[in-house]
């Protein structure tokens, strides 16, 4: 955050921006990789347009990738880039508002032609009209230099031009003293089948790097080495939320010794989870692309009825379609995991933008009294553990569970310490044992600790049973319209949810002590809240960060914990949905901080709120 502009900064924020066709996301991913292998902590944020391939050079077609990397703990991709790499006028002008004064702009000078300025709705050339006076501008003829570098390999102009992302990457890698090796390896693998492209891309990468080393760029472009982060685990990799969630699902199946059936229908930004899970049959996961979201959730319910662990996934509008079927899963008490990768709404809204506005839907959004546990992931890497935890609840308590993540988490990446799956406790399921019979253990016998019913599946030759969405007799499971029975079943369902709280850990405090302000947050705001609280504490504000994983039910100690603070702040990327849950469940008065713009919180925004609400000052400035 408090990055310096030269020398040895503790962290740096770099943003790459250009057309979708410019390979921005690839460039970002490669830079992330190099950064990770340099031992930096990091967080990234791909920010692509809604269009598949928007017309080149337009403002709405700008694709961007931002990374923050550093030697401190990095939890967000950062508010304000230290360096912007802009491949065309649109990329420059769209991103300018984010840049702090003094930031470095590396621009492809050859792209600032009159025609392309017009494509970007610009009347004047910002490189010339003084509008960049507050920044350090380094205009390089990237396209031209790339063409020269790849000339020996005899590519056409189009293919040659396409190498410019690697040229720029080479330059930026030089700038931050980061290794080219992973990118070299990637290029070799990717273009194995086409030697000319392989050679050309390598040449571009090296040329960009050499340019940094040799060109006399003066003050604008100096090399800055970011020191390594003091990492604790032994092995790391970079991971996106979608990947981590996929791996968590794979691991959960294995921990439960249960085959997983993942049933879904594509929707942005949830599709990537399906993409990551396809082809993992040998890891116990089969995938099924259904004709719509209703079919997806229902086939998952069918799979769970048949003894596999059914999982479905979608985004808000698709989850809405699954609502009726979730009621069936509640009524029939089948394990089911429902993943919601939230996006900005209402309705189609802004599918590629992020939001946390499906919490109401998850907690309250069904007809009838249909309690469902809700759990949320806070960061890309956290998705792994959360997937396991959610699966554990679903299988142990014989219930559908909703797991909330969002478009930001799905696409963002971070450095992730490799988990040891052997260290996770196995996930118990409620299947009958080989000696169980309907007499020794009746179909609707309930586990007293969880109220879970037996998980019976067709093919089991000891049992035979029928189930459905009509109210069941508490004891026999037969259809029942009895008043007292419905009350008993309703109470049981409420208890079943409440029991989950007996199995989840007490809420802990992420950062800070038990005094002054408490910031209670959930989901993908984790990184920004964490940083804001850390900075506020450095300023002497008594503030703690409490981050919820379990939202329904809430951890049993939460009410008591929050009671120790003067003020509870609840920052959310919605109009105040967790705040509603806290008022509902704990009757606490909280101060809402809401942003609904499709963008993650800026750390600075949150910090300002913390300053405004500060009550107590820390005795001495500490470093949280």
Ligand X SMILES: Cc1ncc(C[n+]2csc(CCOP(=O)(O)OP(=O)(O)O)c2C)c(N)n1
Nearer to other proteins, 288 or 503 (CB): 288
- Specify the residue, 48 or 186, whose C-beta has the smaller distance to ligand SF4: 48
How many whole angstroms from its chain centre is CA 229?
A: 22
Q: How far is the CB of 107 from other proteins (least distance, A)?
A: 24
Our CB check for ligand X shows the closer of 328 and 390 to be 328
* In the complex, least distance from residue 317 CB atom to ligand SF4, rounded to whole angstroms: 19
Give phi and psi for 545, each to the nearest 5. Answer: -110, 120
CB 174 within 8 A of CB 223: yes
Site for ligand X in 271-300 (CB under 6 A): 293
Closest CB 269 distance from other proteins, rounded Å: 10
The answer to whether 319 contacts a copy of itself (rule: CB under 8 A) is yes
Q: Alpha-carbon distance 510 to 256, whole Å?
A: 29
Q: Which does 52 bind (CB under 5 to 8 A by kind): a copy of itself, ligand SF4, ligand X, none?
A: ligand SF4
DSSP state of 487: H
Residue 50 or residue 621: which is nearer to ligand SF4 going by CB? 50
Partner that binds at residue 266, options ligand SF4, a copy of itself, ligand X, none, CB closer than 5 to 8 Å by kind: ligand X
Answer yes or no: are the C-beta atoms of 365 and 340 closer than 8 Å. no
Give the span between the Cα atoms of 240 and 342, in whole angstroms: 15
Binding residues among 478-537 for a copy of itself as defined by CB under 8 A: 481, 483-484, 486-487, 490-491, 493-494
Pick from a copy of itself, ligand SF4, ligand X, none: which does 1 bind, CB < 5 to 8 A by kind?
none
CB of 178 to other proteins, least distance (A): 13
Q: Taking the mean position of all CA atoms in its chain, how far away is CA 416?
A: 13
Separation between Cα atoms, residue 489 and residue 442, nearest integer Å:
17
Whole-number minimum distance, CB 286 to other proteins, in Å?
6
Q: Does 28 bind ligand X (CB under 6 A)?
A: no
The least distance separating ligand X from the CB of residue 52, rounded to whole angstroms, comes to 8
Using CB under 6 A as the binding rule, the residues of this chain from 313 to 342 that contact ligand X are 317-318, 321, 324
Indicate which of ligand X, ligand SF4, other proteins, none lies near residue 299 (CB less than 5 to 8 Å, by partner kind). Answer: other proteins
CB of 358 to a copy of itself, least distance (A): 5
> Does residue 317 bind a copy of itself (CB under 8 A)?
yes
Minimum distance from residue 271 beta carbon to ligand X (Å):
8
Residues contributing to the site for ligand SF4 (CB under 6 A): 52-53
Provide the strand spans (E) within 409-462: 413-417
| 320 touches a copy of itself by CB under 8 A | yes
Name which of other proteins, ligand X, a copy of itself, none residue 369 binds, using a CB cut-off of 5 to 8 Å depending on partner kind: a copy of itself
Are 429 and 60 spatial neighbours (Cβ–Cβ below 8 Å)?
A: no
In this structure, what are the phi and psi dihedrals at residue 261, rounded to the nearest 5 degrees?
-120, 115
What does the radius of gyration of the chain's CA atoms come to, in whole angstroms? Answer: 27
Are the beta carbons of 292 and 362 closer than 8 angstroms? no
For residue 344, state whether it binds a copy of itself (rule: CB under 8 A): yes
Q: Which stretch binds ligand X (CB under 6 A): 38-46, 265-273, 366-374, 550-558?
A: 265-273
Burial 28-58 (b: 16+ CB within 10 A, else e): bbbbbbbbbebbbbbbbbbbbbeeeebeebb
Three-class secondary structure of residue 256 per DSSP: coil
DSSP 200: H
Query: Which residues have CB under 8 Å from 381's CB, separation 6+?
Result: 239, 244, 414, 415, 416, 417
106 contact, one of ligand SF4, a copy of itself, other proteins, none, CB 5-8 Å limit per kind = none
Q: Which does 53 bind (CB under 5 to 8 A by kind): ligand X, ligand SF4, a copy of itself, none?
A: ligand SF4
Pairing of strands 517-522, 543-548: parallel
Residue 393 φ then ψ, to 5°: -65, -45
Q: What does 267 interact with, of a copy of itself, ligand X, ligand SF4, none (CB < 5 to 8 A by kind)?
A: ligand X
Which range, of 261-269, 385-393, 499-507, 517-525, touches ligand X by CB under 6 A?
261-269
Closest distance to other proteins from the beta carbon of 294 (Å): 6
**Shortest gap between Cβ of 274 and ligand SF4 (angstroms)?**
18
- Provide the sign of the torsion angle of the four alpha carbons 429, 435, 440, 442, taken in this order: positive
| 573 close to 558: Cβ distance less than 8 angstroms | no
Q: Which is nearer to other proteins, 165 or 304 (CB)?
A: 304
At closest approach, how far in Å is the CB of 144 from ligand SF4? 30
CA atoms 404, 504, 491, 329: torsion sign: positive
Q: How far apart are CA 482 and CA 461, in angstroms?
A: 31
Residue 354 makes contact with a copy of itself by CB under 8 A: no
Residue 470 interacting with a copy of itself (CB under 8 A) = yes
Residue (317 or 559) nearer to ligand X, CB: 317
By CB neighbour count within 10 A (0-12 exposed, 13-18 middle, 19+ buried), where does 240 fall?
A: buried
The whole-angstrom separation of Cα 353 and Cα 345 is: 9
Give every strand in the sheet of 62-70, ordered side by side. 136-140, 104-108, 83-86, 11-19, 62-70, 41-47, 413-417
Told to check if 580 binds a copy of itself by CB under 8 A, we report yes
Among 316, 381, 419, 432, binds a copy of itself (CB under 8 A): 316
Residue 329 CB, shortest distance to a copy of itself, in Å, is 8
Which residue's CB atom is positioned nearest to ligand SF4? 52
CA distance linking residue 199 with residue 321, whole number of Å: 50
Among 39, 49, 227, 266, binds ligand X (CB under 6 A): 266
Q: Which helix (H) or strand (E) holds 376?
A: strand 374-376
Q: Exposed (0-12), middle (13-18) or buried (19+): which is 296, by Cβ within 10 Å?
A: buried
Coil/strand/helix, residue 14: strand
Please give the residue ranges that form the binding site for a copy of itself (CB under 8 A).
49-50, 60, 315-321, 323-324, 327-328, 330-332, 342, 344-350, 352-353, 355, 357-358, 360-361, 363-370, 468-471, 481, 483-484, 486-487, 490-491, 493-494, 574-575, 577, 580, 583-584, 587, 589, 595-599
Please give the residue ranges that form the binding site for ligand X (CB under 6 A).
265-267, 293, 317-318, 321, 324
């Amino acid at each position: 955050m408090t990055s310096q502009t030269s020398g040895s900064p503790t962290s740096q924020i770099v943003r790459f921006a250009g057309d979708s066709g410019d390979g921005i996301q690839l460039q970002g991913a490669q830079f992330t990789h190099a950064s990770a292998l340099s031992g930096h902590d990091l967080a990234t944020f791909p920010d692509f347009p809604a269009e598949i391939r928007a017309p080149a050079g337009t403002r709405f077609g700008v694709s961007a990738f931002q990374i923050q990397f550093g030697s401190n703990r990095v939890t967000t991709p950062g508010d304000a880039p230290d360096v912007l790499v802009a491949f065309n006028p649109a990329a420059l002008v769209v991103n300018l508002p984010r840049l702090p004064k003094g930031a470095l702009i590396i621009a492809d000078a050859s792209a600032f032609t009159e025609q392309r300025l017009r494509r970007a709705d610009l009347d004047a050339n910002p490189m010339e009209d003084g509008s960049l006076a507050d920044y350090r501008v380094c205009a390089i003829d990237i396209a031209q230099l790339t063409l020269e570098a790849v000339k020996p390999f005899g590519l056409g102009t189009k293919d040659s031009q396409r190498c410019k992302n690697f040229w720029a990457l080479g330059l930026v890698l030089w700038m931050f003293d980061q290794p080219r090796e992973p990118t070299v390896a990637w290029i070799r693998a990717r273009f194995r089948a086409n030697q000319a492209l392989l050679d050309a891309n390598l040449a571009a990468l090296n040329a960009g790097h050499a340019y940094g080393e040799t060109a006399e760029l003066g003050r604008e472009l100096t090399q800055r080495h970011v020191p390594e982060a003091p990492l604790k685990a032994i092995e790391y990799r970079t991971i996106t939320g979608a990947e981590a969630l996929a791996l968590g699902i794979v691991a959960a199946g294995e921990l439960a010794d249960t085959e997983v059936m993942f049933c879904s229908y594509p929707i942005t930004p949830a599709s990537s989870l399906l993409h990551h899970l396809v082809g993992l049959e040998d890891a116990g996961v089969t995938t099924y692309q259904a004709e719509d979201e209703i079919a997806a959730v229902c086939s998952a319910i069918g799979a769970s009825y048949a003894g596999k662990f059914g999982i479905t996934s979608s985004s808000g509008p698709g989850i809405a379609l699954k609502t009726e079927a979730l009621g069936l899963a509640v009524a029939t008490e089948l394990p089911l995991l429902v993943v919601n990768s939230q996006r900005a709404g209402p309705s189609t809204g802004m599918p590629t933008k992020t939001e946390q506005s499906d919490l109401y839907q998850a907690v309250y959004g069904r007809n009838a009294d249909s309690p469902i546990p809700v759990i949320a992931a806070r960061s890309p890497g956290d998705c792994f553990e959360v997937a396991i935890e959610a699966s554990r609840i679903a299988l142990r308590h014989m219930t559908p569970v909703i797991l909330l993540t969002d478009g930001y988490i799905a696409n963002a990446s971070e450095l992730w310490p490799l988990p040891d799956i052997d260290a996770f406790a196995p996930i118990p399921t409620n299947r009958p044992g080989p000696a169980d019979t309907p007499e020794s253990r009746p179909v609707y016998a309930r586990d007293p600790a969880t109220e879970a019913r037996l998980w019976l599946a067709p093919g089991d030759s000891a049992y035979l049973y029928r189930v459905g969405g009509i109210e069941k007799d508490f004891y026999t499971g037969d259809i029942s319209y009895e008043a007292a029975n419905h009350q008993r079943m309703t109470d049981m369902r409420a208890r079943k949810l409440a029991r989950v709280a007996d199995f989840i850990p007490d809420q802990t405090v992420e950062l800070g002590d038990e005094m002054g302000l408490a910031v209670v947050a959930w989901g993908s705001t984790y990184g920004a809240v964490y940083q804001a609280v850390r900075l506020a504490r450095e300023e002497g504000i008594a503030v703690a960060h409490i981050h919820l994983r379990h939202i329904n039910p809430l951890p049993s100690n939460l009410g008591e914990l929050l009671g120790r603070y003067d003020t509870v702040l609840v920052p959310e990327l919605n109009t105040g949905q967790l705040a509603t849950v806290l008022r509902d469940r704990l009757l606490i008065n909280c101060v809402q901080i809401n942003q609904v713009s499709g963008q993650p919180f800026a750390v600075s925004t949150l910090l300002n709120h913390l300053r405004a609400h500060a009550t107590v000052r820390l005795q001495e400035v500490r470093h949280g």
